[in-house]
Amino acid sequence: AQSVTQLDSQVPVFEEAPVELRCNYSSSVSVYLFWYVQYPNQGLQLLLKYLSGSTLVKGINGFEAEFNKSQTSFHLRKPSVHISDTAEYFCAVSRAAGNKLTFGGGTRVLVKP
């Protein structure tokens, strides 16, 4: 079975500052990795995913994440945040060739002007 740990439950950040959201996972088999975003009172939307290939993955809205197999991490970054990035962000993992996702507890990002 796999598990996901998001190390920060809340991250306050000023507008135009960079942000990094940390995600670590544990699994004994190959995995696929995802970051989802949930804006207030909405469902989840996919930001980006890692299936294979280049370890640096670019997603929507200027976000990117880097897969580090040796550290079992998949941290999400954005070089300059906007007020509209205020949301909750979820890291998730799926066993490769499986179809069930395991989610982390979420990181709430609050962008301040």
Partner 1 sequence: NAGVTQTPKFRILKIGQSMTLQCTQDMNHNYMYWYRQDPGMGLKLIYYSVGAGITDKGEVPNGYNVSRSTTEDFPLRLELAAPSQTSVYFCASSPLAAVDGLEQFFGPGTRLTVL
Q: With binding defined as CB under 8 A, does residue 45 bind partner 1?
A: yes
Binding mask 82-111 for partner 1 (x = CB under 8 A): --------x---x-xxxxxx-xxxx-----
Distance CA 52, CA 32 (A): 8
Distance CA 8, CA 4 (A): 12
Q: With binding defined as CB under 8 A, does residue 56 bind partner 1?
A: no
Q: Name the residue nearer to partner 1 (CB basis): 49 or 77.
A: 49
Q: Name the residue nearer to partner 1 (CB basis): 40 or 113.
A: 40
**Residue ranges with strand state E in the chain:** 3-6, 10-14, 19-21, 23-26, 31-38, 44-50, 56-58, 64-68, 73-78, 87-95, 101-103, 107-112
| Residues forming the site for partner 1 (CB under 8 A) | 4, 6, 9, 32, 34, 36, 42-46, 49, 51, 90, 94, 96-101, 103-106
